[in-house]
Structure formats: C-alpha cells, structure tokens
Amino acid sequence: MLNTRSPEEPYLVERNPGYFEYQLPVSVKAVLAWRGRLPLLRNERDEWELPGGKLDLGEAPAPSLAREIREELAWDAAVGDPVHSWVYRVFPHRHVFVLTYLATYDGDAAPVYSHEHKELTLVTPDEAGALNLPDGYRTAIRLAVERGLFR
C-alpha cells in the first residue's frame, strides 16, 4: 500500500521513511493543425483542451498521442516534435504532467468528437485566446505558431 504525505497531497508518495516523491500521471496533448485551425474539446470542467490523454502502461508518448487523436477525433494525424511541457494543477489535490506535441492532419474528413467530451470547436490560434483554456495550452499554441505550424 502506498503512503502519501496527506489526503490533500495524494501526489506525494512516501518512497523511504520521511522521503516523499512527487508522483504525477502523464498526459500527452496535441496542438493539431488542420486547414489553419486547431480542434479544441470541452471537458467536464467546462474548460477547452487540446486533444490527447493519459499514457497507457508501456506506451511511448508520440504513439500514445496518435492513438488518443484517433479515439477523440477519428483522425490519423502525424505527430511531430514536443513543443511544451508543464504541470497542470487541475485541482489542489490533483496534478498532471502535460507534454504537448505539434501535430498535423491533412485529410478531408471533419473531426468527430467522442463521448469523452461535451463539445468540439475548430478555431484559429488567435480565436483560442478568448476561450476558457488553461494557460499551459495557451503557451503551447503560441509556441506552435512561432514554429510555423499554422502557415
């Protein structure tokens, strides 16, 4: 059984007596360009987020992200380089390490969102700024624009 420092800090797991290690789930996300726009998905907290999700045991980040994009948008996207990483404090007691990649989709099919989300929107990077979007995603989108993803 894992011991944590406190119920309010379940991410601090005791490894040795008195030594607590920061344990975080890893989420891979995509700043995904399609026809000059990027898909954003509205979650149960009414935040807009980039497509992607948690790593499965034994998965590498890029293939995991490609799988998540297929599941969430029904697209076979090309996953490129990592662009940004950050720790997202979802709630005071829930933290997630987010690794964001550049990605593109060159197909003709419009995205179809899964049951995991409440809504899908396609926006330009500038339009994303007006939405309820965590700051780490805003940074990743800005960095993707600076790298020329939306040219």
Give phi and psi for 47, each to the nearest 5.
-100, 150
Beta-ladder partners of 34: 37
Q: How confident is the model at residue 105 (pLDDT cuts 50, 70, 90)?
A: very high
Residue 85, amino acid = S
Q: Is the pLDDT of residue 151 over 90?
A: no
pTM exceeds 0.85, yes or no = yes
- 8 Å CB contact between 129 and 16: no
- 8 Å CB contact between 94 and 114: no
Among all chains, which residue has been given the structure tokens 């026809």?
A: 35
Among all chains, which residue has been given the structure tokens 């899908």?
A: 120
What is the per-residue pLDDT across 8-60, written as a single tens digit (0 to 9) for each?
888 899 999 999 999 999 999 999 999 999 999 999 999 999 999 999 989 99
What is the per-residue pLDDT across 61-101, written as a single tens digit (0 to 9) for each?
999 999 999 999 999 999 999 999 999 999 988 999 999 99
